Structure 1
Amino acid sequence: MDREPPTEVDLLRWSEALAGIARTGLGFTDSTYERERFEEVLAVAADIRHAAGHPVDPSQLVVEWMKQVGSGVPGYVTPKVAVGAVVGDDEGRLLLIQRADSGVWLYPTGWADIGYSPAEVARKEVHEETGIECEVERLIACFDGLRLGFSRVPLYSLVFHCRATGGSLVPHPLETRDVGWFGPDELPDPTAGADRWADMAFAAIRGDDVGAWFDHPRDPPWQGDPDAH
């Protein structure tokens, strides 16, 4: 079967996968020969990322990657973890924030913090970014951000459905420009990725049994359709 030429997203995830393999290998070997080979792989990965539109010089990118090399298990490269919260109120509306860095609207989300469970992070992010208190109801999604093209760094995003229990709308002074409650037909523009998650979010808020959305395996993983379910 004929395949379309690789997209920028394809090149980016191939680059990150190769760089992760090489950095992990460097963290587990003392062999000079193997280290040289892994450093060559990093150089190839940097060239691929540059072809995907990364503005940094490939040689400088290799230097940055080498700085991240650890030793043994701490050096095993894995995706970062972000945690998001789909918060609904008694009127069936969705809580959204306008991000200070990009101006786009999205449900509250942030990096996972050590010492907190994912559900605890969700509740903490909601309160910090919006002033709203909530209870975590259930996990409704696990996204691979690099695969779906909404992140340029490898990350998994865990999304929880939460129920608002109190508080008042107070945007974080540094992280958010604005916050608000929105119905299904009232989403502000631009709302990041709403075509992928909005229906699921409002279904969860209504109390529908939405299960947990996840990225289904591709066959083969490196060339399969990323939207195949």
Structure 2
Amino acid sequence: METKWLEWAQKLQAIAQNGLTYSEGVYDLERYKQLRAIATEIIANHSNVEHSYVLDLFSREAGYATPKVDVRAGIFQDDTILLVKEISDGCWTLPGGWADVGESPSEVVVKEVYEESGYQARAIKLLAVYDRDKQGHPPFPFSVYKLFFQCEIIGGSPSSSIETEAVDFFPENALPELSLGRVTPAQITRLFQHYRQPDLPTDFD
């Protein structure tokens, strides 16, 4: 129940965004703006985010509301997993980020691995497709689907980037502090299970 407010806000924002996209009546448009304002108030009042920031965030969304897509790479070496340290919060995560228009999910994850870790990789299996809101992450204004690919290194060498300050491999029982907005300990554990049991089917939901 503790994040029910987030679910309500996301649904209200989606209804408002869709209404503002497809409605033409002046009064209808005004009502959808009011719905967006309510969603903004819910987010602002239940988080440490400024009201104006949330409203600007929602106002920049246009078109039919759909979940955003985040792709992450699970790369294993000698029973350890590759993590990168984010400059933004000083915590560690799997290489990855938002999917880009014009690139397939596997192309995005390969690009993100290279940009954030310095390693050249190839995607070999889709391990999981998760709804972020059902995975124990901190609250986020928008609905997000998270795609986890198993990848293997085919070249390159470890290097930092404009987003990351360190690159290293860690065993499952000695993980550093994770960037929980990006990845959770439970997700890392599940990726190790996939690594050790290659015949496991892709997880979803």
TM-score interval, smaller chain: 0.7 to 0.9
RMSD: 2.1
Change (3 A) 1:127 1:196: same
Equivalent of 1:211 in 192, 201, 204: 201
* Corresponding residue for residue 185 of structure 2: 195
Letter in 2 for 1:27: T
The reply on whether 1:160 has 2:149 as its aligned counterpart is: yes
- Please report how far the alpha carbon of residue 92 of structure 1 lies from its aligned counterpart in structure 2 after TM superposition: 2.5
Q: Which has the higher strand share?
A: 2
Q: Tell me the CA shift for residue 62 of structure 1.
A: 4.1
> What is the alpha-carbon distance in structure 2 between the residues aligned to residue 191 and residue 66 of structure 1?
27
C-alpha distance in 1 between matches for 2:107 and 2:204: 21
Task: Measure, in 1, the Cα distance between the counterparts of 2:179 and 2:48.
Answer: 25
- Matches of 2:136 and 2:193 in 1, distance apart? 24
For 1:168 and 1:29, the matched residues in 2 are separated by 52
Q: Percent identity?
A: 31
2:105 corresponds to which of 79, 95, 118: 118
Scaled by the length of structure 1, the TM-score of the pair is 0.79
Name the structure 2 match of 1:108.
Answer: 95
The alpha-carbon distance between structure 1 residues 206 and 185, as it changes in their structure 2 partners (threshold 3 A), is: same
Q: Secondary structure at the match of 1:209?
A: coil
Match in the other structure for 2:74:
86
Matches within 5 A, 1:31-110: 31-57=25-51, 61-62=54-55, 65-68=58-61, 70=62, 75-89=63-77, 91-110=78-97
Q: Structure 2: which 5+ runs fail to align?
A: none
- Stretch moving more, 94-103 or 203-212: 203-212
Give the whole-Å Cα distance in 2 for the aligned partners of 1:176 and 1:61: 26
Which one has the largest radius of gyration? Answer: 1
How much does 1:76 deviate? 0.7
> Are 1:11 and 2:5 matched, yes or no?
yes
Q: How far apart in 1 are the matches of 2:60 and 2:173? A: 47
Letter in 1 for 2:196: R
CA distance in 2, matches of 1:121, 1:137: 13
Shift of 1:210: 2.6
After TM superposition, give the deviation of residue 41 of structure 1 in Å: 1.4
Residue 24 of structure 1 aligns with which residue? 18
Report the CA distance between 1:171 and its aligned residue: 1.6
Tell whether the 8 Å contact from 1:11 to 1:51 is kept in structure 2 after alignment. Answer: no
Alpha-carbon offset, residue 161 of structure 1: 0.7
- In structure 2, do the counterparts of structure 1 residues 64 and 207 end up closer, same or farther at CA, with 3 Å as the change threshold? closer
Whole-Å separation in 1 of the counterparts to 2:177 and 2:163: 18
Unaligned residue ranges in structure 1 (runs of 5+): 1-5, 216-229
